[in-house]
Structure 1
Amino acid sequence: MIRLLIADDHPVVRAGLAGLLSDEPGLEVVAEASDGDEAVRLAAATRPDVVLMDLRMPRVDGVAATTRIAAGEAGEPAPRVLILTTYESDDQILAAIEAGAAGYLLKAAPQAEIVAGIRSVAAGQSALSPQVAVRLVERMRRPAPESVLTARETEVLRLVASGHSNKQIAVALGIGESTVKTHLLKIFDKLGVADRTRAVTLAMERGLLA
């Protein structure tokens, strides 16, 4: 029997998933959590085999909760985490995988795909929706950020890291504010991120702003 914990902040979604999965042979829903913090606590209390984790939840989101569960806060051996969400940006996919998630499926996936993903993750394998798998392959094929960021883009990113606004960056570099926005969009695309915070974090992790 595969024991499941469902973590989602929408009661209707939790109830729907619990109803669907409870009817599947070999699956048992042992707990439901409405946010990431509760997911970690209930995972420690109920010791599920797999945690179905949404990404966007109040208080503690799915990525942070996955990190804590993978780090052993829910006990050892750590439950396997399968992200089940409506979001599929490169930034979110990578953040979840880096946090320790064993799989990433979309809520719009057929029930059979979700059930198969649960069984795969419980067996120690990974599970990725076709859309997510394609995004990861495309990301791996991109040149490393170190080889594609220009000197000006690095300069802009360094000022972003220092807390400068677009207007302040434009003044500091003697360029137009629209040019700053263009540089930022190119930086986001090259790094595969969606916002300034993640761009700076990833750049620091890879030593681009040293």
Structure 2
Amino acid sequence: MIRFCVIDDHEVVHDGLRAMADREPDLEFLGGATTVPDGEHLVERVHPAVAILDLRIGERDGGNGIDLCRTLHSRYPSMSVVLFSAYGNGELLAQAIAAGAAGYMLKETSVGRVPGILREITTSGSWFEPRIASELLQRRAGGSAPGAFSAQELEIVRGISRGENNHEIGEQLHISPHTVKYHIASMLRRHEVHRRAELVRLASDLHLLE
């Protein structure tokens, strides 16, 4: 059973997700909130597996859904937080991922697709709107390549995910440890991250390690 709640200042969104859950035997709608404080209290009370947040929630008080995502992710790291927005781009997705989001859905997404998206998030750990994910990949690759990692770079990231050091990765790929180190430094710089684990997280979130 996938237990979820929604934090969105539009009651119609709550009603739509509640009706959707009523039609799906493996989904349970735990309630909705229309403000950030009420949303925090709701999550604390019902302990959902997934919390769906409006990207613009809290704007009247100088915040937004990404700020709330960061707060909830730090408090409940095992809970999946999904941003829900009428718009999106690669920069917003990058901010959402950095805040700990497990998903990013557009409000234009048909209600019929939402159950499958929630299932994907709970089984694989993440789901991001493909069009926006593609934009992020192109932006981080400088807009000149179809993907953010070359084939060899992906193999290096896979090695990192297995806990291998530069020497072990190099042996697998028949390249020197120095070359592995060079590629890792290049990826860190290009993707604007600071740790090897962040490369693994990025590639995993964008489903490049499957």
Contact 1:40–1:68 (Cα < 8 Å) also in 2: no
Amino acid at match of 1:49: A
User: What is the aligned partner in structure 2 of residue 102 from structure 1?
Assistant: 102
User: What is the aligned partner in structure 2 of residue 26 from structure 1?
Assistant: 26
Measure, in 2, the Cα distance between the counterparts of 1:13 and 1:36.
16
What are structure 2's unaligned runs of at least 5 residues?
144-210
SS in 1 for 2:24: coil
* 1:144-194: CA deviation from partner (whole Å, max 9, x where unpaired): xxxxxxxxxxxxxxxxxxxxxxxxxxxxxxxxxxxxxxxxxxxxxxxxxxx
Contact 2:33–2:39 (Cα < 8 Å) also in 1: yes
1:82 matches 2:70: no
User: What is the aligned partner in structure 1 of residue 68 from structure 2?
Assistant: 65
1:44 matches 2:44: yes
Q: C-alpha displacement at 1:100, in angstroms?
A: 0.4
Aligned-residue sequence identity (percent) comes to 29
Amino acid at match of 1:15: D
Q: C-alpha displacement at 1:81, in angstroms?
A: 0.6
Q: C-alpha displacement at 1:124, in angstroms?
A: 4.4
User: Which contiguous aligned blocks of 4+ residues in structure 1 show a shift greater than 4 angstroms?
Assistant: none
Query: How many residue pairs get matched?
Result: 141
Amino acid at match of 1:62: G
Amino acid at match of 2:118: I
Q: C-alpha displacement at 1:109, in angstroms?
A: 1.3
1:34-183 matched pairs, under 5 angstroms: 34-58=34-58, 59=61, 60-72=63-75, 75=76, 78-142=78-142
What are structure 1's unaligned runs of at least 5 residues?
144-210
* 1:81-113: CA deviation from partner (whole Å, max 9, x where unpaired): 111211203332221111000011111112343
Contact 2:93–2:133 (Cα < 8 Å) also in 1: no
Measure, in 1, the Cα distance between the counterparts of 2:92 and 2:115.
22
What is the TM-score of this pair, normalised by structure 1?
Answer: 0.61
Measure, in 2, the Cα distance between the counterparts of 1:84 and 1:24.
20
What is the TM-score of this pair, normalised by structure 2?
Answer: 0.61
Measure, in 2, the Cα distance between the counterparts of 1:57 and 1:136.
23
With 82-91 and 62-71 compared, the bigger mean Cα shift is at 82-91
SS in 2 for 1:4: strand
User: What is the aligned partner in structure 2 of residue 201 from structure 1?
Assistant: none
